[in-house]
Amino acid sequence: MSFFHLVAGKPLATSEERAEHIGPISGIPVFGLDALSSAAYGPEAALTLLIPLGMAGIAHIVPISFAIIALLAIVFFSYRQTIEAYPNGGGSYTVASENLGETAGLLAAAALMIDYILNAAVGISAGVEALVSAFPSLLPHTLAFCLGILAILTLINMRGTKDTGIAFLIPTYMFIGTLLFVLGLGAFRVIASHGHPIPVIAPPRLPIATSMLSLWLLAKVFSSGCAAMTGVEAVSNGVAAFREPTQRNAKKTLTIIIVLLMVLLGGIALLCRAYSIGATDPTSAGYQSVLSQLLAAVIGRGWFYYIGSASILLVLALSANTSYADFPRLTRAIAMHDYLPHVFKIRGRRLLYSHGIVALVGFTAALLIAFGGITDRLIPLFAIGAFLAFTLSQAGMVIHWKNQTGPGRHYRMIVNGIGAVATGITLLVVLVAKFASGAWIVAILIPLLMFLMIGIKRHYKGVETATATDCPIRVDNLASPLVIVPLDRWSRITEKGLRFAMKLSDHVEAVHVDAEECRNEVDAMWNRNVAAPLAQAGREVPKLVFVPSPYRFVLMPLVDHIFQIEREHPDRQIAVLVPELVVKHWWQAPLHNQRAQLLKLLLLLRGNQRIMVINIPWYL
Amino acid sequence: MSFFHLVAGKPLATSEERAEHIGPISGIPVFGLDALSSAAYGPEAALTLLIPLGMAGIAHIVPISFAIIALLAIVFFSYRQTIEAYPNGGGSYTVASENLGETAGLLAAAALMIDYILNAAVGISAGVEALVSAFPSLLPHTLAFCLGILAILTLINMRGTKDTGIAFLIPTYMFIGTLLFVLGLGAFRVIASHGHPIPVIAPPRLPIATSMLSLWLLAKVFSSGCAAMTGVEAVSNGVAAFREPTQRNAKKTLTIIIVLLMVLLGGIALLCRAYSIGATDPTSAGYQSVLSQLLAAVIGRGWFYYIGSASILLVLALSANTSYADFPRLTRAIAMHDYLPHVFKIRGRRLLYSHGIVALVGFTAALLIAFGGITDRLIPLFAIGAFLAFTLSQAGMVIHWKNQTGPGRHYRMIVNGIGAVATGITLLVVLVAKFASGAWIVAILIPLLMFLMIGIKRHYKGVETATATDCPIRVDNLASPLVIVPLDRWSRITEKGLRFAMKLSDHVEAVHVDAEECRNEVDAMWNRNVAAPLAQAGREVPKLVFVPSPYRFVLMPLVDHIFQIEREHPDRQIAVLVPELVVKHWWQAPLHNQRAQLLKLLLLLRGNQRIMVINIPWYL
């Protein structure tokens, strides 16, 4: 197992779990990564839709970016209040189900699940786009790089969150630092050149305009740009992770994150206009990301460019990591309410809800493959889930304040109300503007997921009703069960099984399926090794039964015989002993126990309430 | 399960198994398909290598085909004698291991396994080539068609051999009929035109010669053509399937098959020369199989052409079926001698050795994918296994006769000896001629497989030694075990488990992991439902133990507690009761029992000889 340990980390003992309480400095990488990295693909997504307008299109990025920044400000004030109201963390699922009822909670749950999966897919694909912008020859391998990064992230995460925390700090601050530096330098050049800076490396020439500006196009551009807002709810989810004073630290962190995001979005928009940087077609060979063009224009393709690109790639890939941390927590919370399989509640060997991670990785890989690892195709699916969750969360907060007493609740209701209305309207705009280009997938998936969750809950409820009882234990008929021991040749395993059967019950029956016609030998073995010594010790000798098998089958006659015994003893329980060999190395496993497994399966499938299986392990 | 039944067939009861005894009429399709279908790809494989010689190359196909026919005659007389000596079926593995020792047997086993896999791959890929010759637009989808046919064959075979027998008859005789008709008509036209027939549809013009004839080239052409001889050992394998007089019927069938194969090979060679038909590059767009060209040249591309092509496709696909019948039987025979995992001995729900089929399909699919479904690339790997098996089988027969007494044994030794020498020399020629173009893969795989088989045998022997004992059963310390019942809330499942535990032992301990801090409730429940009624009935009340779980884990504290109990009672066995919910529909399975499975796994991995698991099924 040592190779597995090396890769997946040693299993953690329970006592190693403790909350690491953090302040704003490490809070920004942990909770802000997702939000800040959106600055890398949000403006790009908006600019891509402006390509058909040619040169004239770029000017529109500035008002649209500032509209998004204004929306961001509204959301900021809303979430500050959520932090105050839910010191243990107020995710959209919690807030919506507590204040708006179960259906709203499920709606938020479905939206969030989809959103986390999309976040992982978009983070990775946008990171790979930063990579292929720096090294254009890698473009044909986009999907392979996406899946590779997904695999690496999964490995890191399967080792546990403790190890991942440190990996965040440096790239996040490098990303913020390089971008702020480039934006600052660019702004200085723009001012120094009176608004007409000369790019160090000119961005690709913009295509000739092929269409005109329309309100519809602007709505679509705004909708795509809203992808930049995803991830801002992370802090309010994780309030409990901050150190005392918890809520003040959380709010401080949220403020820094949002202000930084606003500066990045505004700066990128202004510089794009000043340097005439537009998006390029991500499927064509000349593709270069907007940030890559911006870096090259301001500072050239020197070492700084490559450091900047590397930090963008890293931060985007790591922003996918938010999903690894939050998706399993979300599925666990939903499973706690019986809306998802209970397996999502089980923590794995590294204190992780590993089934959640497996589900996340599976869906993300499927998304990446289906959309070829191209961010631009994923964006239309993206913002819906986030804005649906925003809206439900803010609307839930309105009800929350309504049910509170005390001063200032009306003011707070209004703040959250403005947030709910603003994000709600945005949600509608995004849904309509992006419906045809992919949002319909999400619009179908969300109700499907909700139906699935309701079905799961109904199943669990049904099982609970079927097995619930208030009756005390019945005290009649506590006779020991009939124990059946399949017998082949005499071995230490057979001896152990037979002894254990005799410990359990006075009614032991050894069964030999006579597939090889060696009845006499088995008889002799039985007399020598079992019957004689037991009789000598004055103990009851178990019955030995031969089951004929004209066709040399072993399992079927055995199972038939067990069911015959079961029919002959309608008042007793039957226990079937199944020895199982435990091998030293995993690769020896295929050599053993398949017959035992098949016997267990057959008994389970054809079985009834009265037949039990007892596993006798034998360690080599 | 009904959809599964529809696809996979109902499970067969044991009594439905019986040997279907057959005569020559149905023996030819069943045992001759593999051999006869080789006529479709053997000549083609030889002609492909003659492409560089251009027009001049085609003439060489005639002497090479007749050399192969002569070899076929030698092998024929050899195998007649094997049928006489092994009335229960003398496969190469049996004959070699019985007469030449285990190592030779393993060599034959490895060769045969590889050969069966290659036979399936080549049959399918050659069939698909017949298809794309008829419909050239399908060429880019060659691999997809190969995998599709593999899937269909697997489905048919998973339904059981009984259903497949009938499917063989019609296409086999259609194949023989159409080919004999075309060869006859072609021969007539050749004679009528004094050796210069005019093709109905002219075959593609042959390329200009780019190389000269060499002995080396001839050796390679001969080696490729030898692929036509694969499959002739089938009758001697399956003698037992024939009806009385068994051996005479088997020999009659073998004779018909070999004579038919000789006629087909000779006829194809002669007509190819007369019509100037050569092979075409299977990877180029203008590809057309040799048989397709021959059909078109003799009879045109009318309905007969399409019927002929269809029968070729069917027969080749069905010839892959031989592997489905024989590979699992072979792996079973090897597993009987402990050289392969015992799982290959288990018969499945339709009386098949289904694990063998799964292995065959997996490897065949891998081969088809690796070689792009192109027959020509697979051929160099093909003949080695077959000729190695021929040689070992004939050499084994020589020893067999040597150990016999009675008249005629010297004559028989000589016949088999000639067979062994002839096939042995061919094997060497094939190995040398084809080494660089793929035979090296087989030359590496065979010893690897042998090592693997020897390793498996050693492991089984080791386990047997480790568990073997001659000591009779120990009669001391037969006190009932300590039974541990994990307890959550009170339900009918809990009641059943607790009752069963009390039936098994007087020492029952219920364990509640207090992850949710509801100790008082559990205590009250226990008193009300268990302690009070049992005390009233004058029965011993099981112990209730609370295990604290500060981190809200459930499994780990439970497992730790079980091991603590195990340490505290070094003289007793511990049985852990694990309730398992059996759901009505397979898709409900992911909703249950994962915690139970994990508990079992943890106990097994960390466990020891004294901890047993008792499964209590609960049927909904």
Q: Which amino acid is residue B597, in one-letter code?
A: Q
Please report the pLDDT score of residue A124 as a whole number.
92
Contact B500 A581 (CB under 8 A): no
Q: Which domains does chain A have, with CATH numbers?
A: 34-457 (1.20.1740.10), 482-619 (3.40.50.620)
CB contact under 8 A, A459 and B539: no
Phi, psi of A537 (to 5 degrees): -80, 0
**Interatomic CA distance for residues A479 and A502, integer angstroms:** 14
Give the ipTM of the model, two decimals please: 0.73
Q: What residues 210-249 of chain B have any CB closer than 8 A to a CB of chain A?
A: none
Query: What are B349's two structure tokens?
Result: 């729900």
Q: What 3-state class would DSSP assign to B242? A: strand
How many Å apart are CA B390 and CA B230, to the nearest integer?
10
Strand partners, B611: B574
Indicate the residue type of B552. Answer: R
CB contact under 8 A, B529 and A471: yes
Closest by Cβ to B594, choosing from A346, A481, A493: A346
**What pLDDT sits at residue A15?**
38
Contact flag A591-B534 (C-beta cutoff 8 Å): no
Structure confidence at residue A269 (pLDDT): 92
Instruction: With beta carbons less than 8 A apart as the criterion, state whether A471 and B531 touch.
Output: no
DSSP state of A439: I
Q: Which amino acid is at B559?
A: V
DSSP secondary structure letter of residue B591: G
> How many CB atoms within 10 Å of residue A546?
15
Which three-class secondary structure state does DSSP give residue A515? coil
Helix (H) or strand (E) holding B599: helix B594-606
SS3 B250: helix
pLDDT of res. A474? 84
Q: Structure pTM? A: 0.71
The nearest alpha carbon in chain A to B352 belongs to: A553
Nearest CA-CA partner of B70 in B347, B351, B213, B261: B261
Is the distance from CB of A87 to CB of A245 less than 8 angstroms?
no
Binding-face residues of A in 127-166 toward B, CB within 8 A: none
Q: What are phi and psi of A64, to 5 degrees?
A: -65, -45
Model confidence over B234-280: pLDDT tens digits?
A: 888 778 778 888 889 889 999 999 999 999 999 999 999 898 888 88
Q: Closest approach of chain A CAs to the CA of B300, in angstroms?
A: 46
Q: Is B559 exposed, middle or buried (0-12, 13-18, 19+ CB in 10 A)?
A: buried
Low-confidence ranges of chain B (pLDDT < 70): 1-21, 159-167, 348-352, 551
Q: Pairing mode, if any, of strands A543-548 and A507-514?
A: parallel
CB B320 within 8 A of CB B119: yes
How far apart CA B477 and CA B88 sit, in angstroms, is 51
Q: Is the Cβ of B569 closer than 8 Å to some Cβ of chain A?
A: no
User: Cβ of B589 under 8 Å from any chain A Cβ?
Assistant: no
- Using the Cβ of A1 and the Cβ atoms of chain B, whether some distance falls under 8 Å is answered with no
Q: Which residues contact A362 (CB under 8 A, 6 or more apart)?
A: none
By C-alpha distance, the chain A residue nearest B535 is A475
Positions in chain A short of pLDDT 70: 1-21, 159-167, 348-352, 551
| C-alpha to C-alpha distance for A462 and A437, rounded to whole angstroms | 40
Whether A620 and chain B come into contact, CB under 8 Å, resolves to: yes
Chain A residue with Cα closest to B475: A534
Q: Read off the tokens for A225.
A: 């740009």
Cβ proximity of A312 and A175 under 8 Å = yes
- Per-residue pLDDT at B2: 40
| 3-state SS assignment for residue A582 | strand
What is the token pair recorded at B578? 């694990």
| CA angle A138–A141–A142, rounded 5-degree value | 95
Q: 3-state class of B619 per DSSP?
A: strand
- Return the C-alpha torsion angle B299, B301, B303, B304, nearest 10: 30
| Helix extents (H) in B435-483 | 440-467
3-class DSSP state of A242 = strand
What are the chain A neighbours of B536 within 8 Å (beta carbons)? 475
* Cβ neighbours of A580 in B, within 8 Å: 604
Q: Which residues of chain A make contact with B582, given a CB cutoff of 8 A?
A: 604, 607
B516 touches chain A (CB under 8 A): no
How many helices (H) and strands (E) would you count in chain B? 22, 5
Per DSSP, what are the bridge partners of residue B577?
B614
Give the DSSP H/E element, type plus range, for residue B198.
Answer: none
